[in-house]
């Protein structure tokens, strides 16, 4: 199997889905000639033309509005929102319109729209371009929320998201784009709502999302040399959530540490901790702990940014605290 990057896996999926279905198209700021803010769509406009790769004015409300309208007429738009922070501009359209229309029309209207967007910090672009706001979208019925952590997962999950008849928020961490792994060339699907055990272990379960999965795997490898067996679970989609697999892992190990980059207050792991308490209470040998970003805007300065975002040292400390 050949090795490609996370960004290349996204591009390959987009190409394959547009080749297979004339209803699939891409729309966003600078996605055409420029190839997107992170180069994901480089070359696609030369292959598919401006009717399939649509550059837009700088209007997030306009982009999402066009995509919702197109989806209601049978198209399958893939929106690229340049930074996840910008999804707060069309939030009314996403949460009140796209998320509710299928329900309000008794299932007769479908809104098969995917909003791809880079989230997270770590590259020095400050407080308005580095947030992890995925938990915001958990609150709105009708939306699905996907957070792939590997090149293999991002291709299969994006394909499933494009084929889904519901609106999908699809978060791609900026620092994952250059990561490389084995990815099949042929199209394939990974079902939404199915978690994955990235590393098996017996002493503690670490549930991590997005780029935190990669950091948690490094810590697990390090601690294996100290005789600590860490199981790393990646939800992959945080809505719908595969609580069955996660709870099964926690019941096996008896301990859980939850890791996310988002701010401590109101993050996804708040909800996850509640679900683990509900499903695993009698199996827990220690309180469930969380390692998260600080309740602070992401600083521009490199050292301060790194202090806000969870690193391997904080994850290791959390694991050892749960283990006692």
DSSP structure string for 132-172: --HHHHHTSTT-EEE---SHHHHHHHHHHHHH-SS-EEEEE
Residue 190 has pLDDT above 90, yes or no: yes
**What is the mean predicted confidence (pLDDT) over 40-55?**
97
pLDDT category at 187 given cuts 50, 70, 90 is very high
Q: Which tens digit of pLDDT belongs to each residue from 23-37?
A: 999 999 999 999 999
Q: How many residues does the chain have?
A: 324
CA–CA dist 157, 266 (Å, integer): 25
The strand pairing partners of 117, in sequence order, are: 171
Query: What DSSP assignment string belongs to 3-72?
Result: EEEHHHHHHHHHHHHHHH-TTEEEEETT-SSS--TTSTTTTHHHHH-TTTEEE--S-HHHHHHHHHHHHH
The reported pLDDT for the residue numbered 106 is 96
The reported pLDDT for the residue numbered 1 is 80
Q: Which tens digit of pLDDT belongs to each residue from 295-307?
A: 999 999 999 999 9
Catalytic residue ranges: 129
Q: Which tens digit of pLDDT belongs to each residue from 248-300?
A: 999 999 999 999 999 999 999 999 999 999 999 999 999 999 999 999 999 99
- What number of other Cβ atoms are within 10 A of residue 55's Cβ? 15
Query: Please, what is the average pLDDT of the chain?
Result: 97
Q: Which tens digit of pLDDT belongs to each residue from 100-122?
A: 999 999 999 999 999 999 999 99
All domains in the chain, ordered by first residue: 3-182 (3.40.50.970), 196-323 (3.40.50.920)
pTM strictly above 0.95? yes
**What is the mean predicted confidence (pLDDT) over 216-223?**
98
Share above pLDDT 70 across residues of the chain, in percent, rounded to a whole number: 100
DSSP-derived letter for residue 76 is E
Q: Which tens digit of pLDDT belongs to each residue from 149-178?
A: 999 999 999 999 999 999 999 999 999 999
CA–CA dist 321, 259 (Å, integer): 14
The reported pLDDT for the residue numbered 215 is 98
pLDDT category at 128 given cuts 50, 70, 90 is very high
DSSP-derived letter for residue 94 is I
């Amino acid at each position: 199997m050949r090795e490609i990057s996370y960004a290349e896996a996204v591009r390959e999926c987009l190409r394959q889905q547009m080749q297979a279905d004339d209803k699939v198209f891409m729309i966003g700021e600078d996605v055409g000639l420029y190839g997107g803010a992170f180069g994901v769509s480089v070359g696609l406009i030369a292959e598919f033309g401006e009717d399939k790769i649509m550059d837009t004015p700088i209007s997030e409300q306009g982009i999402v509005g066009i995509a919702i309208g197109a989806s209601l007429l049978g198209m399958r738009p893939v929106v690229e929102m340049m930074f996840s922070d910008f999804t707060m501009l069309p939030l009314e359209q996403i949460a009140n319109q796209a998320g509710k229309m299928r329900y309000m029309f008794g299932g007769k209207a479908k809104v098969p729209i995917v909003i791809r967007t880079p989230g997270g910090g770590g590259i020095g672009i400050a407080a308005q371009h580095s947030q992890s706001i995925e938990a915001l979208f958990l609150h709105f019925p009708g939306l699905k929320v996907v957070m792939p952590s590997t090149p293999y997962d991002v291709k299969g999950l994006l394909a499933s998201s494009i084929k889904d008849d519901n609106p999908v928020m699809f978060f791609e961490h900026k620092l994952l784009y250059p990561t490389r792994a084995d990815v099949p060339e042929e199209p394939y699907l990974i079902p939404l709502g199915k978690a994955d055990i990235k590393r098996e272990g017996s002493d503690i379960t670490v549930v991590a999302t997005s780029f935190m999965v990669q950091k948690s795997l490094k810590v697990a490898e390090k601690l294996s040399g100290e005789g600590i067996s860490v199981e790393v679970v990646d939800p992959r989609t945080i809505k719908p959530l595969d609580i069955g697999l996660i709870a099964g892992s926690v019941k096996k190990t008896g301990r859980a540490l939850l890791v996310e980059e988002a701010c401590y207050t109101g993050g996804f792991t708040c909800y996850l901790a509640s679900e683990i308490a509900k499903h695993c209470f009698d199996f827990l040998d220690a309180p469930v702990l969380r390692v998260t970003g600080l309740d602070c805007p992401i600083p521009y300065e490199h050292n301060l940014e790194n202090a806000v975002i969870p690193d391997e040292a904080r994850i290791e400390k959390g694991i050892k605290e749960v283990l006692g």
